[in-house]
Chain A
Amino acid sequence: MKSWSLLVPPIGILLFGLLTLYVKAHPIVGTIDASSLLGLSYLPWLFSVIVLSLIVQAVLIRRHLDTVLFPIALMLSGVGVVEIARLNPPLLVAQLRWLLIAMVLMLILIRIFHMVKQALQYPYILGLCCLVVLLLPILFGTEIGGSRNWIVLGPFSVQPSEFGKILILFFLAAYLSEHRRVLSLPVKHFLFLRLPPLRFIAPLVSIWGIAVLMFVVSRDLGSALLFFGIAVVMTYMATGSKSYLFVASAFILAAGTVSYALFNHVRVRFQVWLNPWQDPNGMAYQIVQSLFSIGTGGVWGTGFGFGHPGFIPEVHTDFIFSAIAEELGLVGALMLMTCYACFFWRGILIALCCRMDRELLTAAGGSTLFLMQAFIIISGVTKFLPLTGITLPFVSYGGSSMVASFLLLGIILSLSRRGEDG
Protein backbone atom coordinates (compact mmCIF):
# COMPACT_ATOMS: atom_id res chain seq x y z
CA MET A 1 0.00 0.00 0.00
CA LYS A 2 1.14 3.47 -0.84
CA SER A 3 0.77 4.94 2.63
CA TRP A 4 3.04 2.25 4.10
CA SER A 5 5.70 2.29 1.42
CA LEU A 6 6.65 5.86 2.29
CA LEU A 7 7.76 4.65 5.71
CA VAL A 8 10.43 2.34 4.27
CA PRO A 9 13.07 4.96 3.34
CA PRO A 10 13.15 6.66 6.77
CA ILE A 11 13.61 3.31 8.50
CA GLY A 12 16.14 2.33 5.86
CA ILE A 13 18.14 5.49 6.57
CA LEU A 14 18.12 4.78 10.29
CA LEU A 15 19.32 1.19 9.85
CA PHE A 16 21.88 1.92 7.13
CA GLY A 17 23.35 4.88 8.96
CA LEU A 18 23.69 3.15 12.31
CA LEU A 19 25.07 0.01 10.66
CA THR A 20 27.66 2.10 8.82
CA LEU A 21 28.75 3.59 12.11
CA TYR A 22 28.93 0.14 13.68
CA VAL A 23 30.99 -1.26 10.85
CA LYS A 24 33.25 1.77 10.99
CA ALA A 25 33.76 1.42 14.72
CA HIS A 26 34.63 -2.32 14.49
CA PRO A 27 36.72 -2.66 11.37
CA ILE A 28 38.03 -6.18 12.02
CA VAL A 29 35.77 -8.99 10.92
CA GLY A 30 34.93 -11.84 13.21
CA THR A 31 35.70 -10.17 16.51
CA ILE A 32 32.32 -9.93 18.09
CA ASP A 33 33.06 -9.76 21.77
CA ALA A 34 31.27 -8.25 24.72
CA SER A 35 32.89 -4.82 24.42
CA SER A 36 31.82 -4.33 20.83
CA LEU A 37 28.26 -5.32 21.71
CA LEU A 38 28.11 -2.67 24.41
CA GLY A 39 28.13 -0.15 21.62
CA LEU A 40 24.73 -1.47 20.62
CA SER A 41 22.91 -0.47 23.80
CA TYR A 42 20.73 1.86 21.72
CA LEU A 43 19.11 -1.09 19.92
CA PRO A 44 16.02 -1.35 22.17
CA TRP A 45 15.40 2.37 21.69
CA LEU A 46 15.84 2.09 17.94
CA PHE A 47 13.49 -0.87 17.82
CA SER A 48 10.81 0.93 19.83
CA VAL A 49 11.10 4.01 17.61
CA ILE A 50 10.52 1.86 14.53
CA VAL A 51 7.59 0.03 16.10
CA LEU A 52 6.05 3.25 17.35
CA SER A 53 6.35 4.88 13.95
CA LEU A 54 4.47 1.94 12.43
CA ILE A 55 1.80 2.32 15.11
CA VAL A 56 1.52 6.05 14.41
CA GLN A 57 1.06 5.41 10.71
CA ALA A 58 -1.59 2.78 11.47
CA VAL A 59 -3.45 5.25 13.69
CA LEU A 60 -3.26 7.91 10.99
CA ILE A 61 -4.65 5.52 8.39
CA ARG A 62 -7.44 4.38 10.67
CA ARG A 63 -8.45 7.92 11.53
CA HIS A 64 -8.36 8.96 7.85
CA LEU A 65 -5.73 11.61 8.50
CA ASP A 66 -2.98 12.65 6.15
CA THR A 67 -0.38 9.90 5.67
CA VAL A 68 2.36 11.83 3.88
CA LEU A 69 3.42 14.37 6.48
CA PHE A 70 4.43 11.85 9.12
CA PRO A 71 6.86 9.91 6.88
CA ILE A 72 8.48 13.22 5.90
CA ALA A 73 8.91 14.14 9.56
CA LEU A 74 10.29 10.68 10.29
CA MET A 75 12.68 10.97 7.37
CA LEU A 76 14.02 14.26 8.68
CA SER A 77 14.31 12.89 12.22
CA GLY A 78 15.99 9.78 10.85
CA VAL A 79 18.65 11.82 9.09
CA GLY A 80 19.04 13.86 12.26
CA VAL A 81 19.39 10.81 14.53
CA VAL A 82 21.97 9.20 12.26
CA GLU A 83 23.98 12.40 11.98
CA ILE A 84 23.85 12.94 15.75
CA ALA A 85 25.03 9.36 16.30
CA ARG A 86 27.99 10.14 14.10
CA LEU A 87 28.78 13.57 15.57
CA ASN A 88 28.14 12.98 19.22
CA PRO A 89 27.51 9.29 20.04
CA PRO A 90 26.56 9.81 23.72
CA LEU A 91 23.59 11.88 22.63
CA LEU A 92 22.16 9.15 20.38
CA VAL A 93 20.12 7.42 23.06
CA ALA A 94 18.86 10.76 24.35
CA GLN A 95 17.75 11.80 20.88
CA LEU A 96 16.01 8.46 20.25
CA ARG A 97 14.29 8.81 23.59
CA TRP A 98 13.11 12.32 22.75
CA LEU A 99 11.87 11.09 19.38
CA LEU A 100 9.90 8.39 21.17
CA ILE A 101 8.43 10.84 23.71
CA ALA A 102 7.56 13.29 20.96
CA MET A 103 5.71 10.65 18.95
CA VAL A 104 3.76 9.49 21.99
CA LEU A 105 2.79 13.07 22.81
CA MET A 106 1.74 13.57 19.21
CA LEU A 107 -0.54 10.54 19.38
CA ILE A 108 -2.10 11.86 22.60
CA LEU A 109 -2.57 15.28 21.01
CA ILE A 110 -4.30 13.76 17.98
CA ARG A 111 -6.57 11.85 20.33
CA ILE A 112 -7.62 14.87 22.41
CA PHE A 113 -7.51 17.38 19.60
CA HIS A 114 -11.25 18.05 19.71
CA MET A 115 -10.69 19.51 23.18
CA VAL A 116 -7.56 21.40 22.24
CA LYS A 117 -9.49 22.92 19.36
CA GLN A 118 -11.83 24.65 21.80
CA ALA A 119 -8.93 26.85 22.83
CA LEU A 120 -9.10 28.50 19.44
CA GLN A 121 -12.24 30.29 20.59
CA TYR A 122 -10.46 32.30 23.26
CA PRO A 123 -7.89 34.46 21.48
CA TYR A 124 -7.13 36.80 24.34
CA ILE A 125 -6.46 34.04 26.87
CA LEU A 126 -4.16 32.42 24.32
CA GLY A 127 -2.46 35.75 23.79
CA LEU A 128 -1.89 36.15 27.52
CA CYS A 129 -0.49 32.61 27.86
CA CYS A 130 1.77 33.35 24.96
CA LEU A 131 3.05 36.54 26.58
CA VAL A 132 3.69 34.71 29.86
CA VAL A 133 5.56 31.86 28.16
CA LEU A 134 7.68 34.26 26.16
CA LEU A 135 8.42 36.50 29.12
CA LEU A 136 9.39 33.59 31.38
CA PRO A 137 12.91 33.15 30.01
CA ILE A 138 13.47 36.90 29.99
CA LEU A 139 12.69 37.01 33.71
CA PHE A 140 13.90 33.66 35.03
CA GLY A 141 16.00 32.41 32.14
CA THR A 142 19.37 30.72 32.30
CA GLU A 143 21.98 31.39 29.71
CA ILE A 144 23.10 28.35 27.74
CA GLY A 145 25.21 28.76 24.65
CA GLY A 146 25.03 32.52 24.43
CA SER A 147 21.30 33.08 24.51
CA ARG A 148 19.18 33.40 27.56
CA ASN A 149 16.21 31.35 26.47
CA TRP A 150 16.34 28.35 28.75
CA ILE A 151 14.47 27.51 31.91
CA VAL A 152 16.02 24.89 34.13
CA LEU A 153 13.54 22.70 35.99
CA GLY A 154 15.52 20.22 38.03
CA PRO A 155 17.01 17.69 35.63
CA PHE A 156 15.32 19.16 32.58
CA SER A 157 16.09 22.34 30.81
CA VAL A 158 13.27 23.58 28.66
CA GLN A 159 13.29 26.11 25.89
CA PRO A 160 9.95 27.88 26.33
CA SER A 161 10.15 29.70 23.02
CA GLU A 162 9.80 26.35 21.23
CA PHE A 163 6.41 25.84 22.83
CA GLY A 164 5.61 29.52 22.63
CA LYS A 165 5.52 29.19 18.88
CA ILE A 166 2.59 26.78 19.08
CA LEU A 167 0.76 29.19 21.37
CA ILE A 168 1.49 32.13 19.12
CA LEU A 169 0.20 30.16 16.15
CA PHE A 170 -3.06 29.43 17.98
CA PHE A 171 -3.37 33.01 19.15
CA LEU A 172 -2.81 34.45 15.69
CA ALA A 173 -5.23 32.01 14.09
CA ALA A 174 -7.94 32.75 16.66
CA TYR A 175 -7.42 36.49 16.69
CA LEU A 176 -7.09 36.97 12.95
CA SER A 177 -10.07 34.81 12.03
CA GLU A 178 -12.22 36.78 14.46
CA HIS A 179 -11.12 40.18 13.30
CA ARG A 180 -10.33 39.52 9.69
CA ARG A 181 -13.21 41.69 8.44
CA VAL A 182 -12.12 44.67 10.49
CA LEU A 183 -8.49 44.19 9.65
CA SER A 184 -9.09 44.02 5.94
CA LEU A 185 -11.44 47.01 5.94
CA PRO A 186 -9.09 49.95 5.58
CA VAL A 187 -10.20 53.07 7.37
CA LYS A 188 -7.21 55.31 7.81
CA HIS A 189 -4.96 56.31 4.98
CA PHE A 190 -1.38 57.01 5.81
CA LEU A 191 0.81 57.86 2.83
CA PHE A 192 0.09 54.97 0.45
CA LEU A 193 -0.81 52.59 3.28
CA ARG A 194 -4.33 51.74 4.27
CA LEU A 195 -4.66 50.75 7.90
CA PRO A 196 -7.51 49.85 10.21
CA PRO A 197 -7.95 51.67 13.53
CA LEU A 198 -5.03 51.32 15.87
CA ARG A 199 -6.79 49.27 18.54
CA PHE A 200 -7.31 46.38 16.12
CA ILE A 201 -3.68 46.09 15.20
CA ALA A 202 -2.46 46.66 18.76
CA PRO A 203 -2.12 42.89 19.51
CA LEU A 204 -0.06 42.43 16.36
CA VAL A 205 2.17 45.35 17.22
CA SER A 206 2.65 43.94 20.71
CA ILE A 207 3.79 40.61 19.24
CA TRP A 208 6.30 42.43 17.10
CA GLY A 209 7.42 44.31 20.19
CA ILE A 210 7.86 41.07 22.16
CA ALA A 211 9.91 39.63 19.32
CA VAL A 212 12.25 42.60 19.40
CA LEU A 213 12.46 42.39 23.20
CA MET A 214 13.39 38.70 22.97
CA PHE A 215 16.05 39.59 20.49
CA VAL A 216 17.56 42.34 22.57
CA VAL A 217 17.23 40.99 26.11
CA SER A 218 17.63 37.25 25.73
CA ARG A 219 19.75 37.47 22.56
CA ASP A 220 17.54 34.92 20.89
CA LEU A 221 17.65 36.33 17.39
CA GLY A 222 16.37 33.17 15.71
CA SER A 223 13.15 32.85 17.66
CA ALA A 224 12.60 36.59 17.45
CA LEU A 225 12.82 36.46 13.68
CA LEU A 226 10.56 33.42 13.58
CA PHE A 227 7.88 35.00 15.76
CA PHE A 228 7.98 38.25 13.88
CA GLY A 229 7.87 36.49 10.54
CA ILE A 230 4.98 34.23 11.43
CA ALA A 231 2.95 37.19 12.73
CA VAL A 232 3.50 39.06 9.49
CA VAL A 233 2.85 36.09 7.21
CA MET A 234 -0.31 35.04 9.02
CA THR A 235 -1.67 38.58 9.00
CA TYR A 236 -1.07 38.67 5.29
CA MET A 237 -2.72 35.27 4.79
CA ALA A 238 -5.77 36.36 6.76
CA THR A 239 -6.29 39.81 5.29
CA GLY A 240 -4.55 39.78 1.94
CA SER A 241 -3.50 43.37 2.53
CA LYS A 242 0.04 44.29 1.60
CA SER A 243 0.02 47.37 3.82
CA TYR A 244 0.88 45.16 6.80
CA LEU A 245 3.97 43.89 5.03
CA PHE A 246 5.18 47.43 4.49
CA VAL A 247 4.43 48.48 8.06
CA ALA A 248 6.15 45.35 9.40
CA SER A 249 9.26 45.78 7.30
CA ALA A 250 9.50 49.43 8.34
CA PHE A 251 9.12 48.31 11.94
CA ILE A 252 11.83 45.65 11.73
CA LEU A 253 14.17 48.00 9.90
CA ALA A 254 13.74 50.66 12.58
CA ALA A 255 14.16 48.13 15.39
CA GLY A 256 17.21 46.65 13.67
CA THR A 257 18.86 50.03 13.20
CA VAL A 258 18.24 51.07 16.79
CA SER A 259 19.56 47.82 18.24
CA TYR A 260 22.55 47.93 15.90
CA ALA A 261 23.42 51.33 17.26
CA LEU A 262 22.82 50.45 20.90
CA PHE A 263 23.95 46.86 21.48
CA ASN A 264 27.30 45.36 20.91
CA HIS A 265 26.23 41.75 20.35
CA VAL A 266 23.98 42.81 17.49
CA ARG A 267 26.81 44.70 15.86
CA VAL A 268 29.09 41.65 16.19
CA ARG A 269 26.52 39.37 14.57
CA PHE A 270 26.04 41.74 11.72
CA GLN A 271 29.73 42.31 11.05
CA VAL A 272 30.44 38.58 11.17
CA TRP A 273 27.79 38.13 8.52
CA LEU A 274 29.07 40.89 6.25
CA ASN A 275 32.69 39.88 6.42
CA PRO A 276 33.62 36.74 8.35
CA TRP A 277 37.20 36.86 7.05
CA GLN A 278 38.07 39.77 9.30
CA ASP A 279 38.27 37.50 12.29
CA PRO A 280 38.11 33.88 11.10
CA ASN A 281 39.57 32.44 14.29
CA GLY A 282 37.61 34.48 16.76
CA MET A 283 34.06 35.76 16.42
CA ALA A 284 33.49 34.24 12.99
CA TYR A 285 35.05 30.86 13.76
CA GLN A 286 31.75 29.00 13.74
CA ILE A 287 30.44 30.36 10.47
CA VAL A 288 33.81 30.07 8.73
CA GLN A 289 34.15 26.42 9.75
CA SER A 290 30.60 25.81 8.60
CA LEU A 291 31.36 27.28 5.18
CA PHE A 292 34.53 25.20 4.89
CA SER A 293 32.65 22.09 5.79
CA ILE A 294 29.88 22.71 3.25
CA GLY A 295 32.53 23.42 0.64
CA THR A 296 34.43 20.22 1.41
CA GLY A 297 31.30 18.19 0.82
CA GLY A 298 31.06 19.02 -2.85
CA VAL A 299 28.29 17.44 -4.91
CA TRP A 300 28.28 13.87 -3.61
CA GLY A 301 29.72 14.51 -0.16
CA THR A 302 32.69 13.01 1.61
CA GLY A 303 30.74 9.91 2.51
CA PHE A 304 28.89 9.34 5.72
CA GLY A 305 31.33 9.26 8.63
CA PHE A 306 34.28 10.49 6.57
CA GLY A 307 33.93 14.24 6.88
CA HIS A 308 35.36 16.42 9.60
CA PRO A 309 32.36 18.41 10.78
CA GLY A 310 33.65 18.16 14.35
CA PHE A 311 35.47 21.45 13.92
CA ILE A 312 32.25 23.41 14.04
CA PRO A 313 31.16 24.31 17.55
CA GLU A 314 27.56 23.30 18.38
CA VAL A 315 27.45 21.14 15.28
CA HIS A 316 24.81 18.75 16.58
CA THR A 317 22.18 21.45 17.17
CA ASP A 318 22.26 24.60 15.12
CA PHE A 319 24.90 23.57 12.61
CA ILE A 320 23.68 20.07 11.84
CA PHE A 321 22.85 21.17 8.33
CA SER A 322 26.51 21.92 7.58
CA ALA A 323 27.48 18.46 8.81
CA ILE A 324 24.84 16.84 6.60
CA ALA A 325 25.90 18.99 3.65
CA GLU A 326 29.51 17.89 4.17
CA GLU A 327 28.89 14.18 4.49
CA LEU A 328 25.96 13.70 2.12
CA GLY A 329 26.97 16.50 -0.21
CA LEU A 330 24.91 18.93 -2.23
CA VAL A 331 22.60 16.08 -3.23
CA GLY A 332 21.77 15.18 0.35
CA ALA A 333 21.31 18.80 1.34
CA LEU A 334 19.01 19.45 -1.60
CA MET A 335 16.96 16.35 -0.81
CA LEU A 336 16.62 17.54 2.77
CA MET A 337 15.34 20.89 1.56
CA THR A 338 13.01 19.11 -0.85
CA CYS A 339 11.55 17.31 2.16
CA TYR A 340 10.82 20.64 3.85
CA ALA A 341 9.33 22.04 0.67
CA CYS A 342 7.06 19.01 0.21
CA PHE A 343 6.08 19.27 3.86
CA PHE A 344 5.04 22.87 3.32
CA TRP A 345 3.18 22.05 0.11
CA ARG A 346 1.28 19.23 1.76
CA GLY A 347 0.48 21.43 4.76
CA ILE A 348 -0.95 24.15 2.52
CA LEU A 349 -3.03 21.54 0.66
CA ILE A 350 -4.43 20.43 4.02
CA ALA A 351 -5.13 24.03 4.96
CA LEU A 352 -7.04 24.61 1.74
CA CYS A 353 -9.33 21.69 2.58
CA CYS A 354 -10.21 23.12 6.01
CA ARG A 355 -13.59 24.69 6.27
CA MET A 356 -13.34 27.05 9.22
CA ASP A 357 -11.26 30.20 8.94
CA ARG A 358 -9.36 29.53 12.13
CA GLU A 359 -8.52 25.96 11.24
CA LEU A 360 -7.36 27.05 7.83
CA LEU A 361 -5.13 29.69 9.37
CA THR A 362 -3.76 27.25 11.95
CA ALA A 363 -2.81 24.64 9.36
CA ALA A 364 -1.34 27.14 6.92
CA GLY A 365 0.50 28.99 9.67
CA GLY A 366 1.88 25.76 11.12
CA SER A 367 3.32 24.62 7.83
CA THR A 368 4.73 28.09 7.22
CA LEU A 369 6.33 27.94 10.65
CA PHE A 370 8.29 24.79 9.75
CA LEU A 371 9.41 26.14 6.41
CA MET A 372 10.37 29.49 7.89
CA GLN A 373 12.33 27.91 10.73
CA ALA A 374 14.21 25.66 8.31
CA PHE A 375 14.85 28.63 6.04
CA ILE A 376 16.15 30.84 8.83
CA ILE A 377 18.68 28.32 10.11
CA ILE A 378 19.75 26.99 6.70
CA SER A 379 20.29 30.51 5.42
CA GLY A 380 22.12 31.25 8.66
CA VAL A 381 24.65 28.43 8.36
CA THR A 382 25.22 29.12 4.66
CA LYS A 383 25.73 32.84 5.43
CA PHE A 384 22.80 33.94 3.33
CA LEU A 385 21.35 35.80 6.31
CA PRO A 386 23.00 36.78 9.60
CA LEU A 387 23.44 33.68 11.71
CA THR A 388 20.65 33.06 14.18
CA GLY A 389 20.65 30.33 16.77
CA ILE A 390 17.60 28.20 16.13
CA THR A 391 17.10 24.49 15.65
CA LEU A 392 16.49 22.80 12.33
CA PRO A 393 13.01 21.33 12.93
CA PHE A 394 13.03 17.51 13.40
CA VAL A 395 16.72 17.22 12.55
CA SER A 396 18.63 19.07 15.27
CA TYR A 397 19.41 17.57 18.62
CA GLY A 398 17.12 18.87 21.36
CA GLY A 399 14.19 17.65 23.39
CA SER A 400 12.13 20.85 23.42
CA SER A 401 12.53 21.32 19.72
CA MET A 402 11.66 17.70 18.90
CA VAL A 403 8.58 17.64 21.12
CA ALA A 404 7.34 21.03 19.93
CA SER A 405 7.83 20.08 16.28
CA PHE A 406 5.93 16.83 16.66
CA LEU A 407 3.13 18.57 18.57
CA LEU A 408 2.83 21.09 15.76
CA LEU A 409 2.83 18.23 13.28
CA GLY A 410 0.07 16.58 15.33
CA ILE A 411 -2.01 19.75 15.08
CA ILE A 412 -1.63 19.93 11.31
CA LEU A 413 -2.40 16.21 11.01
CA SER A 414 -5.53 16.49 13.14
CA LEU A 415 -6.80 19.27 10.90
CA SER A 416 -6.33 17.07 7.84
CA ARG A 417 -9.30 14.83 8.60
CA ARG A 418 -11.19 14.27 5.41
CA GLY A 419 -14.92 14.91 5.47
CA GLU A 420 -17.58 12.24 5.15
CA ASP A 421 -17.43 12.43 1.37
CA GLY A 422 -13.75 11.43 1.39
Chain B
Amino acid sequence: MPVAAFFFKALRIFLEYGMLLWLITFSVRLGRMMFRDYQQKRKENDVGGQKNAEASLLILSSKEEGLLGKRFVFSDQLSIGRDPDNDIVIPEQFVSHHHAIVYKHSGHFVIKDLGSRNHSFVNDEMLTGSVFLKPGDVIRIGMVTLQFKR
Protein backbone atom coordinates (compact mmCIF):
# COMPACT_ATOMS: atom_id res chain seq x y z
CA MET B 1 0.00 0.00 0.00
CA PRO B 2 2.05 2.89 -1.34
CA VAL B 3 -0.29 5.58 -0.01
CA ALA B 4 0.01 4.35 3.53
CA ALA B 5 3.76 4.00 3.20
CA PHE B 6 4.03 7.55 1.88
CA PHE B 7 1.85 8.81 4.67
CA PHE B 8 3.98 6.92 7.14
CA LYS B 9 7.19 8.37 5.83
CA ALA B 10 5.73 11.87 5.89
CA LEU B 11 4.73 11.35 9.49
CA ARG B 12 8.24 10.25 10.36
CA ILE B 13 9.84 13.26 8.69
CA PHE B 14 7.35 15.54 10.37
CA LEU B 15 8.19 14.04 13.75
CA GLU B 16 11.95 14.26 13.19
CA TYR B 17 11.95 17.89 12.22
CA GLY B 18 9.17 18.58 14.68
CA MET B 19 11.70 17.87 17.43
CA LEU B 20 14.03 20.46 16.05
CA LEU B 21 11.13 22.87 15.73
CA TRP B 22 10.16 22.36 19.36
CA LEU B 23 13.74 23.11 20.35
CA ILE B 24 13.79 26.29 18.28
CA THR B 25 10.36 27.39 19.53
CA PHE B 26 11.50 26.90 23.07
CA SER B 27 14.69 28.90 22.71
CA VAL B 28 13.01 31.73 20.85
CA ARG B 29 10.18 31.96 23.33
CA LEU B 30 12.60 31.78 26.23
CA GLY B 31 14.80 34.49 24.82
CA ARG B 32 11.87 36.78 24.06
CA MET B 33 10.32 36.28 27.46
CA MET B 34 13.53 36.92 29.35
CA PHE B 35 14.38 39.95 27.27
CA ARG B 36 10.93 41.39 27.91
CA ASP B 37 11.35 40.69 31.62
CA TYR B 38 14.66 42.46 31.60
CA GLN B 39 13.34 45.52 29.79
CA GLN B 40 10.37 45.75 32.10
CA LYS B 41 12.60 45.55 35.14
CA ARG B 42 14.91 48.19 33.74
CA LYS B 43 11.99 50.50 33.10
CA GLU B 44 10.76 49.96 36.64
CA ASN B 45 14.23 50.68 38.00
CA ASP B 46 14.50 53.88 35.97
CA VAL B 47 11.18 55.16 37.24
CA GLY B 48 11.99 54.03 40.76
CA GLY B 49 15.41 55.63 40.66
CA GLN B 50 14.05 59.05 39.81
CA LYS B 51 11.11 59.02 42.14
CA ASN B 52 12.68 57.42 45.16
CA ALA B 53 16.03 59.06 45.60
CA GLU B 54 15.00 59.56 49.22
CA ALA B 55 14.15 57.08 51.88
CA SER B 56 12.70 57.48 55.30
CA LEU B 57 12.62 55.72 58.63
CA LEU B 58 9.40 55.91 60.59
CA ILE B 59 9.50 55.19 64.31
CA LEU B 60 6.70 52.71 65.01
CA SER B 61 7.15 52.19 68.72
CA SER B 62 9.40 53.66 71.32
CA LYS B 63 9.40 54.42 75.04
CA GLU B 64 10.68 57.91 74.35
CA GLU B 65 7.79 60.30 73.75
CA GLY B 66 9.97 62.52 71.62
CA LEU B 67 10.73 59.79 69.13
CA LEU B 68 7.37 58.08 68.69
CA GLY B 69 5.79 58.59 65.29
CA LYS B 70 8.66 60.70 64.02
CA ARG B 71 9.80 60.29 60.43
CA PHE B 72 13.45 60.71 59.43
CA VAL B 73 13.93 61.44 55.76
CA PHE B 74 17.38 60.98 54.27
CA SER B 75 18.92 60.51 50.87
CA ASP B 76 22.50 59.49 51.53
CA GLN B 77 23.12 57.97 54.92
CA LEU B 78 21.75 57.95 58.40
CA SER B 79 23.31 56.80 61.64
CA ILE B 80 21.55 55.39 64.66
CA GLY B 81 22.93 55.20 68.20
CA ARG B 82 23.01 56.55 71.75
CA ASP B 83 25.70 59.17 71.05
CA PRO B 84 24.29 62.67 70.44
CA ASP B 85 26.19 63.01 67.14
CA ASN B 86 23.96 60.40 65.48
CA ASP B 87 21.09 61.28 63.15
CA ILE B 88 18.65 59.27 65.22
CA VAL B 89 19.56 59.41 68.89
CA ILE B 90 17.99 56.70 71.04
CA PRO B 91 18.83 57.39 74.66
CA GLU B 92 18.54 53.82 75.89
CA GLN B 93 21.07 51.69 77.69
CA PHE B 94 20.54 48.78 75.29
CA VAL B 95 21.69 50.88 72.38
CA SER B 96 25.37 51.27 71.60
CA HIS B 97 26.94 54.68 71.05
CA HIS B 98 27.18 54.05 67.33
CA HIS B 99 24.75 51.22 66.81
CA ALA B 100 23.91 50.94 63.15
CA ILE B 101 24.10 52.87 59.92
CA VAL B 102 21.83 52.96 56.86
CA TYR B 103 23.54 54.00 53.63
CA LYS B 104 22.90 54.05 49.93
CA HIS B 105 24.75 51.59 47.77
CA SER B 106 24.20 51.63 44.00
CA GLY B 107 20.58 52.72 44.20
CA HIS B 108 19.62 50.50 47.11
CA PHE B 109 19.72 51.16 50.81
CA VAL B 110 21.81 48.97 53.05
CA ILE B 111 21.69 48.66 56.82
CA LYS B 112 24.88 47.75 58.58
CA ASP B 113 25.36 46.88 62.21
CA LEU B 114 28.40 48.67 63.61
CA GLY B 115 29.31 45.88 66.01
CA SER B 116 26.67 46.81 68.56
CA ARG B 117 26.52 44.91 71.81
CA ASN B 118 22.82 44.09 71.74
CA HIS B 119 22.51 43.63 67.97
CA SER B 120 20.03 45.02 65.48
CA PHE B 121 17.14 43.04 64.05
CA VAL B 122 15.61 43.30 60.61
CA ASN B 123 12.19 41.64 60.37
CA ASP B 124 13.03 39.85 63.63
CA GLU B 125 16.14 38.32 62.18
CA MET B 126 19.44 39.19 63.77
CA LEU B 127 21.55 41.37 61.55
CA THR B 128 25.01 39.98 60.92
CA GLY B 129 27.06 42.30 58.80
CA SER B 130 24.94 44.24 56.37
CA VAL B 131 21.74 43.59 54.46
CA PHE B 132 19.76 45.32 51.72
CA LEU B 133 16.59 47.00 52.93
CA LYS B 134 13.30 46.68 51.10
CA PRO B 135 10.37 49.04 51.54
CA GLY B 136 8.33 48.00 54.54
CA ASP B 137 11.14 46.28 56.43
CA VAL B 138 10.91 46.60 60.18
CA ILE B 139 14.12 47.30 62.04
CA ARG B 140 14.40 46.83 65.80
CA ILE B 141 17.17 48.48 67.76
CA GLY B 142 16.99 48.27 71.55
CA MET B 143 13.35 48.88 72.46
CA VAL B 144 12.67 50.99 69.37
CA THR B 145 11.15 49.68 66.16
CA LEU B 146 11.53 51.58 62.94
CA GLN B 147 10.03 51.00 59.54
CA PHE B 148 11.98 51.59 56.36
CA LYS B 149 10.08 53.34 53.56
CA ARG B 150 10.95 54.62 50.13
Expressed in whole angstroms, the Cα–Cα distance for A123 and B11 within the complex equals: 57
- Which B residues are CB-close (under 8 A) to A335? 23-24, 26-27
Expressed in whole angstroms, the Cα–Cα distance for A338 and B35 within the complex equals: 13
In addition to A12-B22, A331-B23, A420-B136, 18 A-B residue pairs with Cβ atoms within 8 Å of each other are A6-B29, A13-B23, A17-B15, A17-B19, A23-B8, A27-B8, A29-B5, A71-B30, A304-B15, A304-B16, A305-B16, A306-B16, A328-B23, A335-B23, A335-B24, A335-B27, A336-B23, A342-B27
B84 at the interface (CB under 8 A from A): no
Asked whether A13 lies within 8 Å of B136 as measured between CB atoms, the reply is no
C-beta contact mask, A332-345 vs B, less than 8 Å → 1, else 0? 10011011001001
Expressed in whole angstroms, the Cα–Cα distance for A24 and B9 within the complex equals: 9
B1 at the interface (CB under 8 A from A): yes
B105 at the interface (CB under 8 A from A): no
Asked whether B19 lies within 8 Å of A68 as measured between CB atoms, the reply is no
Interface residues on B, range: 20 to 34
Expressed in whole angstroms, the Cα–Cα distance for A79 and B132 within the complex equals: 40
Q: Is the interface of A mostly helix, strand, loop or mixed?
A: helix
B98 CB to closest chain A CB (Å) equals: 18
Expressed in whole angstroms, the Cα–Cα distance for A301 and B134 within the complex equals: 50
- Which B residues are CB-close (under 8 A) to A79? 23
11 pairs, CB–CB < 8 Å, chain A vs chain B: A6-B26, A9-B26, A13-B23, A20-B15, A301-B20, A303-B13, A304-B16, A304-B19, A332-B23, A338-B31, A342-B27
B135 at the interface (CB under 8 A from A): yes
Asked whether A20 lies within 8 Å of B12 as measured between CB atoms, the reply is yes
Q: How many A-B residue pairs have CB under 8 A?
A: 99
Expressed in whole angstroms, the Cα–Cα distance for A6 and B30 within the complex equals: 8
Asked whether A75 lies within 8 Å of B5 as measured between CB atoms, the reply is no
Expressed in whole angstroms, the Cα–Cα distance for A335 and B19 within the complex equals: 12
- Which B residues are CB-close (under 8 A) to A301? 20
B18 at the interface (CB under 8 A from A): yes
Expressed in whole angstroms, the Cα–Cα distance for A301 and B136 within the complex equals: 55
- Which B residues are CB-close (under 8 A) to A300? 20
Which parts of B36-78 form the interface with A (CB within 8 Å)? 37-38
| With contact pairs A20-B19, A355-B134, A421-B134 given, residues A9 and B34 touching in the complex (Cβ less than 8 Å) | no
CB closest residue in chain B, given A20: B15
Which parts of A273-296 form the interface with B (CB within 8 Å)? none
Closest 8 CB pairs of A and B: A9-B26, A20-B15, A12-B22, A338-B27, A335-B27, A335-B23, A9-B22, A304-B16
B1 CB to closest chain A CB (Å) equals: 7
Asked whether B34 lies within 8 Å of A68 as measured between CB atoms, the reply is yes
